[in-house]
Homo-oligomer: A and B are copies of this chain.
Amino acid sequence: MENFTFFNPTKIVFGKDVISKIGEEVSKVAGKVLVLYGRGSIKANGVYEAVKRSLESNGISSVELGGVKPNPVLSKVKEAITIARSENVEAIVAIGGGSVIDTAKAVAAGYYYEGDIWDAFCGPCKIEKALAIFTVLTISATSSEMNNGAVITNEEKNMKVSFFSEHTYPKASFIDPEVQFTLPKIQVAYGAVDMISHICELYFNGVHNTEVQDYIAEGLIKTIMRNTAIILNNPSNYEARAQFIWAGTLSLNGINAAGRGLGDWSTHKIGHAISALYDIPHGETLAIVMPAWMRYCMKVDLPKFARFGREIFKINAPTEEEIAIKGILALKDWFESIGVKTSLIDVGIRLDEISKIASNPGITYPLGALKSLGREDVENILHLTNY
């Protein structure tokens, strides 16, 4: 096991009807908030009203900004910072999934940052202070509701980068599984891919002696897979939603990471390069890249990839290599089975664009922890997605 520091002060309030409690929690630190949200579905499903009612009944005033898009962009962050400053808000309330919550983190940090906030996201973290952040989770995928990371796209530079700060853990996140009953099924599927890929970026990083971490990782993946299938059949199954959502939050809240050292993150970096260039959902980019990355790198740690095949898909075969490859193909098949594409060709990206993806400035070479990848390796992986 590697040395580690684990710290996660986010309070999770989980279950039926918990959104009504947000006002009381916010009132401990703020009298005026900026409410951030996405494309307005929260106004159709009652979540927006529930949040507003709880804030108002606790004497909290608010300004709001909607229109945060998937793969959230820097211009929106700057627009929100301007409003937050001019309105003197004391906290951010994010209603949404990873895109809205990540935007909230960037706004909370940017509120106090004097220079161009983009500079704070590049290189060593320069954030020393942030507004308090509260979230109401409406799409499970990124664990952003219980970690300190955010991914923002600079649309002028075609770059998607992540930042982390000890000041950007949400203070509290309110998670009512019923809120997600009406999500489009494809969002559930993308969420499942995102969760599994987060777990695997850490599970397959080449570090050994991680027994308890591996049990946790495998338990999370099995829970996510079994309940995704149930949800796609019956979107209103509360228990399946609750298991799926809580496993999603645990996927990248630090518990699976503690003691593993750094994750690999090649799949994410390549996926980010794809969605910086093409408007392809984050979850789909991961489903495209991850199985190809696994096949390309599996020989570096065959016992671990074989363990994955055995534990997750109950695969048995004469050799470790056969178990490993069958496990990876089973994962690719599973992604297809839930409606997510797994090859560049299927999402309309031609072979002659592969070198452009591999050259995206969002990828810094050498890439990866399990196996150190150069640009040619990344091109090979992108070609492999089509097979």
Contact = CB atoms under 8 A, between A and B. Distances in A.
Interface of A: 1-16, 18, 209, 211-212, 214-216, 218-220, 222-223, 226-227, 239, 242-243, 246-247, 250, 255, 258-259
Contacts of A10: 7
B14 A4 contact: yes
B246 A226 contact: no
Contacts of A9: 7-9
Nearest to A18: B3
Contact of A11 (B5, B15, B216, B220): B5
Contacts of A18: 3
A227 B10 CA distance: 31
Contact of A220 (B3, B14, B212, B223): B212
Contact of A12 (B7, B216, B218): B7
11 contacts: A2-B15, A3-B15, A7-B10, A209-B243, A211-B223, A212-B219, A212-B243, A215-B216, A215-B223, A216-B216, A219-B219
Nearest to A146: B6
Contacts of A242: 1, 209, 259
Contact of A212 (B4, B14, B247): B247
A264 to B, nearest CB: 21
Contact of A239 (B5, B209, B214, B227): B209
Contacts of A219: 212, 214-216, 218-219
A113 to B, nearest CB: 23
